[in-house]
């Protein structure tokens, strides 16, 4: 079974802190994604990566950065957390094959910024 794990289920940080959210997948997937999920807005793509050291902006990248130093690990970084970044953050991965459509999700990190 594909397994995607995220470093924390719940996280509370203060405004201005630097925040790291870690995601690890164990199925050798090339593609990895970071989403945030807010009520009434669904999942919105923040950043994604098709390969090691490669990243692309999604629909809402402002205030975020990412790092992919190893194939299995994709990190989301909030350089200076703000209250409007309080949200559920979901990581996902998928194989590179163009015939493969499904993304596999981690359990999510609920981040609260005070």
Partner 1 sequence: EDKVVQSPLSLVVHEGDTVTLNCSYEVTNFRSLLWYKQEKKAPTFLFMLTSSGIEKKSGRLSSILDKKELFSILNITATQTGDSAIYLCAVRTSGSRLTFGEGTQLTVNP
Single out the residue of 50, 51, 54, 70 in contact with partner 1 (rule: CB under 8 A): 50
Query: Parallel, antiparallel, or unpaired for β 10-13 and 109-113?
Result: parallel
Q: With CA atoms as reference, report the closest residue to 65 among 50, 51, 52, 80.
A: 80
Single out the residue of 19, 23, 24, 35 in contact with partner 1 (rule: CB under 8 A): 35
What gap in Å lies between CA 90 and CA 101, rounded to an integer? 18
Subset of residues 72 to 101 that bind partner 1, contact rule: CB under 8 A: 90, 94, 96, 100-101
Region of 19-27, 38-46, 65-73, 79-87 interacting with partner 1 (CB under 8 A): 38-46
Q: If binding is defined by CB under 8 A, does position 40 make contact with partner 1?
A: yes
- Residue 43 tokens read as 């999942």
What gap in Å lies between CA 89 and CA 18, rounded to an integer? 16
Q: If binding is defined by CB under 8 A, does position 45 make contact with partner 1?
A: yes
Do residues 28 and 90 lie in contact, with contact meaning Cβ atoms separated by under 8 Å?
no
Tokens 């309080």: give the residue.
Answer: 86
Rounded least distance, CB 106 to partner 1, Å? 6
Rounded least distance, CB 16 to partner 1, Å? 30
For 56, which DSSP code? E
Q: Which residues bind partner 1 (CB under 8 A)?
A: 4, 31, 33, 35, 40-45, 48, 50, 58, 90, 94, 96, 100-108
């Amino acid at each position: 079974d594909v397994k995607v794990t995220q470093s924390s289920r719940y996280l509370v940080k203060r405004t201005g802190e630097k925040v790291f959210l870690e995601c690890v997948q164990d199925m050798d997937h090339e593609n990895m994604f970071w989403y945030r999920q807010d009520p009434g807005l669904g999942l919105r793509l923040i950043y994604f990566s098709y390969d090691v050291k490669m990243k692309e902006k999604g629909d809402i990248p402002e205030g975020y950065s990412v790092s992919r130093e190893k194939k299995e690990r994709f990190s989301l970084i909030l350089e200076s957390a703000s209250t409007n970044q309080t949200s559920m953050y979901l990581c996902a991965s998928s194989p590179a094959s163009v015939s493969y459509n499904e993304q596999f999700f981690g359990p999510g990190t609920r981040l609260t910024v005070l």
